[in-house]
Chains A and B, each alone.
Chain A
């Protein structure tokens, strides 16, 4: 019998939700900027925006620095349009993504595929995931032997549609509605794209763990 207990709990550590990210505290030696509230509300998200830019640029640090810098310059110039007390993090991430897309389009306009093709490609990639075909035994040991750089490389190797939703949620810690706002997609699409991105990443990490000998191949 899969569930042995007819009364009481067998797993008393089940909890919903997860810890949410907080903005970085301001360094004491940072100068006060002239636009009211910008130093207090926007600047604390600089680390988070830089990290998001890093994932968007597939780990290219120079490009990420440029994207992050331009994000804050644009935010500073448009600060009068921002309503104090609303979601500054989503606002900054939206500017960041737009800036990245602007730069990326300029750099690879010839290789750009039409947006209408997006969902079909996402579907095809998901369907190709071995994780969905097989039903691997879930084992937290997969994560114990992983090297961080390899995981980051696996995230950076994901197609952009998956990489950005994963960076916003699991690394950037945005909620579904905030992600929808940044990407300009409905809530249902956020969920399906995010869940497929996680499956695809976990599939690749599991394959990596087997290949590296952290877990045996019969885990799947």
Chain B
């Protein structure tokens, strides 16, 4: 029995296997709590968590870099208004 198991914790391989789902907020309360508890005390798994968290911070930063070009917005509204006026598409 590993020390983690002796302490009533899940093993490193189980924590890492669920790391993505933990970060995606996709685990149930029980599993989520177990992974969280493990990461809080495990110096081996925490760097993996921290790395993936940095990845999400990065993708969140670049996520909104492109806005809809004004010409597309204008073109789209013109067409939608025209279709609406003609009663198209119903």
Contacts and interface: CB of A to CB of B under 8 A. Distances in A.
Interface stretch (A89-97, A156-164, A167-175): A167-175
A82 to B, nearest CB: 13
Contacts of A21: 63
B48 A61 contact: no
A52 to B, nearest CB: 10
Interface in B50-70: 50-69
Nearest to B68: A50
Interface size class, chain B:
35 or more
A139 B66 contact: no
Interface string A56-73: 000001000100110011
Interface string B65-90: 11111011101110111011100111
A114 interface: no
B30 interface: no
Interface residues on A, range: 35 or more
A138 interface: yes
Contacts of A3: 3-4, 41-44
A218 interface: no
A69 to B, nearest CB: 5
Nearest to A76: B80
A152 B62 CA distance: 8
Contacts of A54: 66
Interface of B: 3-4, 7, 12, 20-27, 32, 35-36, 39-44, 46-69, 71-73, 75-77, 79-81, 83-85, 88-90
5 contacts: A14-B49, A73-B76, A139-B51, A152-B62, A173-B63
